[in-house]
Structure 1
Amino acid sequence: MTIQIIAALLSLGLSSIPQSSWPLWTSYANHFIQEDGRVVDPDRDDLTTSEGQSYAMFFALVANDRARFDHLFLWTVNNLAGGTIETTLPAWSWGKKTDGSWGIKDTNSASDSDLWIAYDLIQAGRLWKSPVYANTGMGLLKLIAEKEVSHVHSFPILLPAQTGFEHDGMTVMNPSYMPLFLLQSAATVQPEGPWGAMAASLPSLVRGGTAAGFAPDWIKIEPDGTMSSTPPLDLSTEQATGSYDAIRVYLWAGLTSSNTHGRDDLLKALSGMTSYMRTHPLPPEFVIEDKPEVRGDGPISFSAALIPFLQESRAPEAVAQQKKRLKDALSTGTGLYGQPPRYYDQNLAMFALGYTEHRFHIQSNGELEVPWQR
């Protein structure tokens, strides 16, 4: 029923694309989003991920771009969830398959994207006064709790996906998949769910898996409750790092309201990055967690992601350096960052700059606040 209602609105022209007042979003949509609502990553053979869809839905909501939000959601449901997102978690990747056809490449889910989509829908339902969106988001949130949440030593953990992250009593989790404000929002609208306990335990989880104040990409929890950083899926041949996933841990902490319980504990747990950025002009691309040792300079997305975090950590000189890097990287031709503009760079930049430019604010209960709301 949800899909039919939204599709009907689109067919009647009741959801038309307005001129957005957010230039970066307009440039991003023109470059990365097809007319049918599919977000495309040119650097990955035009791959589409549930992450890309979920982020774009958030930015469309911030920009009050109802028509594009509708298209993004419809494409996601029809192509990643088989038309029934109320009962089927979205597949995480869609693109060109080995036989040359286009479709789902991996049916496993990505819980962070699922949580973002639920949040987008619930907030869209509230801000646009759409019970259809709100109810769909609530249904998806319950599905996430049923299929992607595990309990480890009596506290709930958001597994990265439906399958593949529990082995012989050990659980592997990704701290960037659990933004504190998303958990607070979920706890607000579904207090009977696992979300409040998950939010309360997040700072200790991050602290337990963090070496010298640098966020890891992955954390493993042993059967006895011991926590440590780990390579992806606990591959023993690789080193545990903090890199392209972990950079979002800082970003989410920076976007979290200062009045949110646990926010300050997160900033303290991540203070190693703050100290590093006070004396270095660029963020590291990799942090080898067990040393810790930094390697390489991070791309423009890393600088963008750290701006809210450093701002909330009271490191104004470091903030100014990263803002200058972004300004210098902005292309007047595309209106995007970098040459060529890359998908991940733009997404983290939109989160960071949308926040610092006061295009959105997230309240302590997780509710999205935007200037255009009535």
Structure 2
Amino acid sequence: MAKAPLHQSGRLGLLWLLLWSLSQNACAQPGGRSGGSLIADDPLWQAYAALFITPGGRVIDTGNGGVSHSEGQGWGLLLAVAQGDRERFDLIWRWTQENLQIRSDALSAWRYDPAQEPPVHDRNNASDGDLMIAWAMWRAWERWREPHYRDISQRVRADIASHLVREHGGYTVLLPGRDGFEHDDRLHLNLSYLVMPALREFHRVDAGGPWQALYRDAQQLLDESRTGVLQLPPDWLALAADGSVAPAPDQPPRFGFEAVRIPLFFMWGEAHHGCQALCDIQRFWEEPAPPAWVDVRNGRQAEYSLSPGGLAVRALLRQEHQLPAEARDLATQDYYSASLAMLTRLAMIERDTRRPVLLCQ
């Protein structure tokens, strides 16, 4: 092949350097490719914020009496930093700090009900909300270089590691909350609380923490939790001291409202390789309108269909790159469904599609 003239070669070299520089800047944003794809005035983000986030920064659960959760505040923070919406990020954090960070540790109370007095009756935490808050704060530090965000993330991570991580039955596991989930020789767990992309990122910045062990053992626990003819994981799981697992006895034995997040977090966190449980979920969701839940023991199914947000998670599990149309229509959804849709969209943008895909027979 003939060489380009010297001046043309120089221009090509400058162009290559420019493209390389732009790619490096994009990758420096939180979530890698998301930095160049999501903006604060994005219509879908603006619609979500108008529907579910008050001007004061409270994320409202419209499907549950207008309460708020640490989970929702964490989701709002994560979405705001991904969009580059610092003003709304700070509003959400200020409300969270003033209303939920009222414990003696750095964890957040899990529920706020404006109809009660005081609005926080139960100061127990929810570990998925704490993981999300710590992750969002770390991403905010990486995006905006405000040391305050980094320090908050470090404090929350330290208290997660100190108060919520247990070694039990041969596994490293995450308690769903600090109180109420340890029963004699059993721990009650919720695998959808394991925000796998957050654990992976925490291991990158804090290799001495429990994050890699949690990430690794979550994959094994998920496969071990498959139950019944459909071989699906239950929303709530009991882990015995001998390492055996079963649906938690104090909860309905369903794959449903909680476990719908498992494929989202495992696909987003690149924890899906060789995971048979995800294949079983994909098979269960094959019909056009799969049921919202199924009893993993007797096969009884909900009489209503999976939400649009759940259908978004199904699209991610199928390796699709766009939300289904019904998931993009946020105005027809409640907070939980719309949040699943928004988080799934972010996961679709951020996932490294060059990695091996989930292969299900």
TM range (shorter): 0.7 to 0.9
- SS of corresponding position for 1:246: coil
**Cα gap change, 1:239/1:102 in structure 2, threshold over 3 Å: closer, same or farther?**
closer
Q: Which residue of 2 aligns with 1:149?
A: 165
Are residue 265 (structure 1) and residue 274 (structure 2) matched?
yes
Q: Which residue of 2 aligns with 1:242?
A: 255
Aligned AA (1:28):
Y
Superposition map of 1:1-374 within 5 A? 20-82=40-102, 87-98=105-116, 101-211=117-227, 212-230=230-248, 234-235=249-250, 239-257=252-270, 262-266=271-275, 268-278=276-286, 280-296=287-303, 297-311=305-319, 323-326=324-327, 330=329, 336-338=330-332, 341-356=333-348, 358=349, 360-361=350-351
Deviations 1:192-212 (A, max 9, x none): 111111111111100111124
Task: Give the TM-score taking structure 1 as reference length.
Answer: 0.78
Aligned AA (2:89):
F
Aligned AA (1:326):
A
Question: In 2, distance between residues paired with 1:242 and 1:253?
Answer: 16
Q: Which moved more, 1:63-72 or 1:204-213?
A: 204-213
Q: Which residue of 2 aligns with 1:333?
A: none
In structure 2, runs of 5+ residues without a counterpart are 1-38, 355-361
Deviations 1:205-226 (A, max 9, x none): 0011112442320111112211
**Cα gap change, 1:42/1:277 in structure 2, threshold over 3 Å: closer, same or farther?**
closer
User: Residue 283 of structure 1: CA displacement?
Assistant: 2.5
Q: What is the percent sequence identity of the aligned residues?
A: 27
User: Residue 147 of structure 1: CA displacement?
Assistant: 1.1
Question: In 2, distance between residues paired with 1:35 and 1:308?
Answer: 31
User: Residue 170 of structure 1: CA displacement?
Assistant: 0.4
User: Residue 58 of structure 1: CA displacement?
Assistant: 0.5
- SS of corresponding position for 1:228: strand
User: Residue 247 of structure 1: CA displacement?
Assistant: 0.2
Question: In 2, distance between residues paired with 1:81 and 1:217?
Answer: 27
Task: Give the TM-score taking structure 2 as reference length.
Answer: 0.80
**Cα gap change, 1:78/1:362 in structure 2, threshold over 3 Å: closer, same or farther?**
farther
User: Residue 164 of structure 1: CA displacement?
Assistant: 0.5
**Cα gap change, 1:97/1:347 in structure 2, threshold over 3 Å: closer, same or farther?**
same
Contact 1:242-1:287 within 8 A present in 2 as well: yes
User: Residue 44 of structure 1: CA displacement?
Assistant: 2.5
Contact 1:256-1:362 within 8 A present in 2 as well: no
Contact 2:272-2:278 within 8 A present in 1 as well: no
- SS of corresponding position for 2:274: helix
Q: Which residue of 1 aligns with 2:34?
A: none
In structure 1, runs of 5+ residues without a counterpart are 1-18, 331-335, 365-374
Contact 2:111-2:122 within 8 A present in 1 as well: yes
Aligned AA (2:273):
D
Question: In 1, distance between residues paired with 2:309 and 2:272?
Answer: 22
Deviations 1:15-54 (A, max 9, x none): xxxx823211111111221122111223323211111100
**Cα gap change, 1:154/1:225 in structure 2, threshold over 3 Å: closer, same or farther?**
closer
Spell out structure 1 runs of 4+ moving beyond 6 A: none
Question: In 1, distance between residues paired with 2:44 and 2:256?
Answer: 25
Q: Which residue of 2 aligns with 1:15?
A: none
User: Residue 120 of structure 1: CA displacement?
Assistant: 0.6
Contact 2:106-2:155 within 8 A present in 1 as well: no
Q: Which residue of 1 aligns with 2:35?
A: none
Aligned AA (2:99):
N
**Superposition RMSD on alpha carbons, in Å?**
2.3
Larger Rg: 2
- SS of corresponding position for 2:113: strand
Q: How many residues align?
A: 313
- SS of corresponding position for 2:137: helix
Question: In 1, distance between residues paired with 2:254 and 2:180?
Answer: 20
User: Residue 293 of structure 1: CA displacement?
Assistant: 4.7
User: Residue 245 of structure 1: CA displacement?
Assistant: 0.3
- SS of corresponding position for 1:88: coil
Contact 2:311-2:327 within 8 A present in 1 as well: yes
User: Residue 229 of structure 1: CA displacement?
Assistant: 2.3
Question: In 2, distance between residues paired with 1:345 and 1:208?
Answer: 28
Contact 1:213-1:270 within 8 A present in 2 as well: no
- SS of corresponding position for 1:348: helix
